[in-house]
């Protein structure tokens, strides 16, 4: 028998057994569930009787040890709790759902109510001294609306890779046939992990580090995810800065990548898109020289503008000669980080409004560009090459690996961003719906972007008289060299150029916001005691993260910055991100337990995940990640950018960068083993009750779905329910 406390007339008394007595102040209060003011009859009614749920008189039996009570006052609902009326708090709980053997008494006593709240707070702190008293509870910020959250996760998932990588992969790996492995990897690999992260974040209302109180042995997974997200910010925001530079250059009277008569152009520059040059397939005259060279060795004006005017690569021949940052790019980078700070320093209340622009504008611009592209000669040819199925390609292992890598990185599982965003949801938000909507929108955007890109590639192929394979490419080369060249000769080229680079900025900003939000939320939740004691801690900490990320990013805007950019891009979020997602799935499925996890989902959504989700979480998704990791390690090639082959020491730097985040997983596990009493067998996951792990389950309005009672009111009362474990 467990001993519990109750309060009668303001004095603490012992109650033996599973009965628990709750006291609350009854002054001028409104009745829960009725919304009417108290009067004399109400007061007498409450004083004269105790609302009790007896096991002998249930009207219905609920699962997980709960029953419905038919003991209700005459003429109305059973009133279990009454709370002081205020504009900011209306309980609105579901009254007739009380745990078995739980006797709830409502008595009018101000001192008893206050003592009960104090007792609950102190007992909670004693149960888990490492858990912050208010962390993740009622004081946690929430999204202003579900639309803010949905647009935020869509904005993070739909990024630059949807535009510059998927269309090329689809073309290279069998056209329409590529959709078969892509959809299979989506359904059995990426989506289950995405859904798992949403459940974890929303249920715990914690960031990517603190959420692992459910399984402390794997707390390093959270640190790994935060480090990966932070590393990505070092180079990803540079892409947005390049886009901003191109956007500003598009305002000039003449697009600077149209001709070869600029100071940065070389003798090998060839204006392939101009009518007088498009039939010259064999040779190009060299300025001030009577000799000729093959066009294979020439450069387009757009290529030379990007490499020589923007990056200034002519002043560096490798990592050993980085040079000094280019001030124009530094200014663009500073503008980007300023926009990120303005979007993030107030939390999701501010970022949730920004995504209404950053997440929706790309679709408007893509639609406009598609309509214009379809009017160009050669557009149909480009789309045909994009979609033409080659089923024989499906026999190649590389096609399946490309599909797996693309959908995995596109959805963004393992970064901790979706988990961070979901932690600001209301407890009963339908995260299953959000998961499905986001994955559909993300995949549609990738497919839709292919039509836009290949209409212009078909136009270039037609105008130059070369195969599409000659002009098709991926990555920065596509958006900063091929596409600018394609629109340079169009009527109104300035407008099309500005629209395109504005779209790239929007695509990049909301993804960059998500990565930095993961870092900020993860660390502030984990060290919440430190931050809660300091005013304006969110603003100052966000500023610190922004300044640090900006400082490291400066290395990427030097003449040799493109080499460091490529190094970051290859190693910072490659195998380390896969390991983060792998151990996340292992921790939840094999250590925390799918039964517990399914119960958590049921608590929020009112339904348990089915066999498909459980099998994917436990077997298929981890196997899919392991397969990608093994294949990547076996077929790893020496790092190279264009003709530059990276030295061996650069490879070591890259692997050190990757291992610095991966090693957080075993390192933190060892620390947890050392500082936690008991044998290793007892330690992997927490044996504490859920209310001691996540304090919001101790303070709540009675809002019961499944077996949990959850608090969402700022003026809440205490209730007792059965232990979770």
Residue pLDDT, tens place only, 533-584: 888 899 999 999 999 999 999 999 999 999 999 999 999 988 899 999 999 9
Q: Which residue has the higher pLDDT, 570 or 47?
A: 570
Q: Binding site annotation covers 9?
A: no
Q: Binding site annotation covers 193?
A: no
Q: Cα-flanking dihedrals φ and ψ of residue 61, to 5°?
A: -105, 130
On the question of pLDDT at 50 being above 50, the answer is: no
Could you tell me which of 420, 614, 425 has the C-alpha nearest to residue 517? 420
Are 423 and 205 within 8 A, CB to CB? yes
Q: What proportion of the chain, given as a percentage, has pLDDT over 70?
A: 71
Q: For residue 444, what pLDDT is reported?
A: 94
Q: For residue 686, what pLDDT is reported?
A: 54
On the question of pLDDT at 717 being above 80, the answer is: no
DSSP of 146-206 = HHHHHHHHHHHHS-HHHHHTHHHHHHHTTGGGGHHHHHHHIIIIIHHHHHHHHHHHHHHT-
* pLDDT tens track for 132-143: 333 334 578 899
Q: Binding site annotation covers 350?
A: no
> Which helix or strand (DSSP H or E) is residue 620 part of?
none
Q: Binding site annotation covers 510?
A: yes
**Residue 500 in 3-state DSSP?**
helix
Q: Which residue has the higher pLDDT, 593 or 474?
A: 593
Q: For residue 200, what pLDDT is reported?
A: 93
> Which helix or strand (DSSP H or E) is residue 471 part of?
helix 468-471
Q: For residue 176, what pLDDT is reported?
A: 86
Enter the tokens of residue 185: 């990897």
Domains of the chain as residue ranges with CATH: 3-128+689-718 (no CATH), 146-253+327-523+577-645 (1.20.1740.10)
pLDDT band at 401 (very low <50, low <70, confident <90, very high): confident
- pTM greater than 0.75: yes
Residue 60 CB-density burial (10 A; 0-12 exposed, 13-18 middle, 19+ buried): exposed
Give CA–CA dist 572/655, Å, rounded. Answer: 9
Q: Binding site annotation covers 158?
A: yes
Q: For residue 273, what pLDDT is reported?
A: 59
Q: Count CB atoms within 10 A of the CB of residue 398.
A: 12
pLDDT band at 635 (very low <50, low <70, confident <90, very high): confident
C-alpha distances in angstroms, 453 versus 28, 164, 472, 623? 66, 8, 9, 34
Q: Which residue has the higher pLDDT, 289 or 144?
A: 144
Q: Binding site annotation covers 410?
A: yes
Q: For residue 693, what pLDDT is reported?
A: 54
Q: Which residue has the higher pLDDT, 151 or 603?
A: 151
* pLDDT tens track for 3-20: 444 434 434 444 333 333
Mean pLDDT (the chain) is 76
pLDDT band at 174 (very low <50, low <70, confident <90, very high): confident
- Stretch 44-60: mean pLDDT, rounded? 39
Could you tell me which of 639, 659, 450 has the C-alpha nearest to residue 572? 659
* pLDDT tens track for 285-306: 433 443 444 445 678 898 899 9
Q: Binding site annotation covers 623?
A: no
On the question of pLDDT at 52 being above 90, the answer is: no
Q: Binding site annotation covers 511?
A: yes
* pLDDT tens track for 156-168: 999 998 998 898 8
Q: Cα-flanking dihedrals φ and ψ of residue 26, to 5°?
A: -120, 5
pLDDT band at 181 (very low <50, low <70, confident <90, very high): very high
- Stretch 524-541: mean pLDDT, rounded? 90
């Amino acid at each position: 028998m467990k001993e519990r406390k109750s309060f009668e007339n303001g004095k603490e008394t012992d109650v033996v057994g599973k009965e628990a007595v709750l006291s609350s102040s009854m002054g001028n209060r409104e009745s829960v569930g009725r919304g009417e003011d108290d009067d004399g009859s109400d007061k007498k009614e409450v004083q004269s009787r105790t609302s009790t749920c007896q096991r002998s008189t249930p009207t219905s039996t609920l699962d997980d040890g709960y029953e419905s009570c038919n003991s209700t006052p005459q003429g109305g609902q059973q009133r279990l709790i009454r709370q002081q009326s205020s504009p900011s708090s209306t309980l609105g709980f579901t009254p007739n759902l009380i745990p078995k053997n739980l006797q709830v008494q409502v008595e009018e006593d101000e001192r008893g109510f206050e003592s009960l709240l104090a007792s609950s707070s102190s007992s909670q702190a004693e149960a888990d001294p490492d858990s912050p008293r208010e962390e993740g509870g009622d004081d946690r910020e929430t999204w202003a609306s579900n639309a803010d959250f949905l647009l935020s996760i869509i904005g993070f998932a739909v990024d630059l890779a949807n535009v510059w990588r998927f269309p090329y992969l689809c073309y290279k790996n069998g056209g329409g046939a590529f959709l078969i492995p892509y959809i299979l990897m989506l359904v059995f690999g990426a989506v289950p992990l995405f859904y798992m992260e949403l459940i974890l974040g929303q249920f715990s209302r914690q960031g990517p580090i603190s959420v692992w109180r459910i399984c402390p042995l794997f707390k390093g997974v959270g640190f790994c995810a935060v480090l990966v997200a932070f590393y990505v910010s070092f180079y990803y925001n540079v892409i947005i800065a390049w886009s901003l530079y191109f956007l500003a250059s598009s305002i000039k009277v003449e697009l600077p990548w149209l001709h070869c008569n600029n100071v940065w152009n070389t003798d090998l520059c060839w204006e392939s898109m101009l009518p007088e040059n498009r039939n010259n397939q064999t040779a190009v005259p060299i300025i001030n020289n009577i000799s000729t060279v093959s066009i294979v060795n020439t450069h387009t004006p757009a290529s030379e503008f990007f490499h020589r005017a923007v990056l200034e690569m002519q002043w560096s021949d490798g990592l050993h000669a980085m040079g000094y940052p280019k001030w124009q790019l530094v200014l663009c980078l500073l503008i980007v980080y300023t926009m990120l700070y303005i979007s993030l320093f107030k939390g999701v209340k501010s970022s949730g409004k920004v995504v209404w622009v950053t997440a929706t504008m790309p679709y408007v611009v893509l639609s406009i560009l598609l309509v214009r592209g379809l009017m160009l000669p050669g557009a149909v040819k480009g789309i045909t090459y994009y979609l033409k199925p080659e089923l024989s390609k499906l026999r190649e292992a590389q096609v399946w690996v490309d599909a797996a890598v693309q959908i995995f990185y596109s959805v963004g599982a393992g970064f901790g961003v979706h988990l961070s965003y979901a932690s600001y949801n209301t407890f009963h938000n339908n995260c299953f719906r959000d998961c499905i909507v986001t994955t559909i929108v993300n995949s549609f955007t990738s497919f839709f972007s292919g039509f836009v890109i290949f209409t212009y590639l078909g136009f270039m192929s037609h105008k130059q008289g070369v195969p599409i394979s000659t002009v098709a490419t991926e990555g920065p080369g596509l958006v900063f060299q091929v596409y600018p060249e394609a629109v340079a000769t169009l009527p109104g080229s300035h407008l099309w150029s500005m629209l395109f680079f504005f779209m790239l900025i929007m695509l990049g900003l909301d993804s960059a916001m998500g990565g930095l939000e993961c870092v900020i939320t993860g660390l502030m939740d984990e060290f919440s005691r430190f931050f809660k004691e300091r005013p304006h801690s969110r603003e100052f900490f966000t500023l610190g993260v922004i300044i640090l990320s900006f400082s490291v990013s400066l290395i990427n805007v030097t003449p040799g910055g493109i080499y460091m950019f490529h190094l970051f891009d290859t190693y910072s979020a490659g195998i380390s991100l896969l390991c983060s997602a792998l151990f996340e799935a292992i921790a939840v499925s094999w250590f925390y337990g799918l039964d517990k996890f399914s119960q958590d989902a049921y608590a929020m959504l009112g339904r348990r995940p089915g066999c498909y989700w459980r099998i994917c979480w436990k077997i298929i998704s981890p196997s899919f990640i392991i397969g990608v990791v093994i294949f990547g390690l076996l077929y790893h090639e020496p790092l190279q950018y264009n003709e530059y082959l990276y030295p061996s020491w650069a490879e070591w730097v890259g692997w050190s960068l990757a291992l610095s985040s991966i090693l957080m997983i075993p390192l933190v596990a060892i620390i947890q083993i050392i500082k936690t009493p008991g044998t290793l067998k007892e330690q992997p996951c927490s044996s504490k009750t859920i209310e001691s792990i996540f304090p919001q389950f101790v303070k709540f309005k009675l809002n019961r779905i499944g077996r949990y009672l959850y608090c969402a009111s700022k003026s809440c009362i205490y209730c007792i329910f059965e232990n979770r474990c």
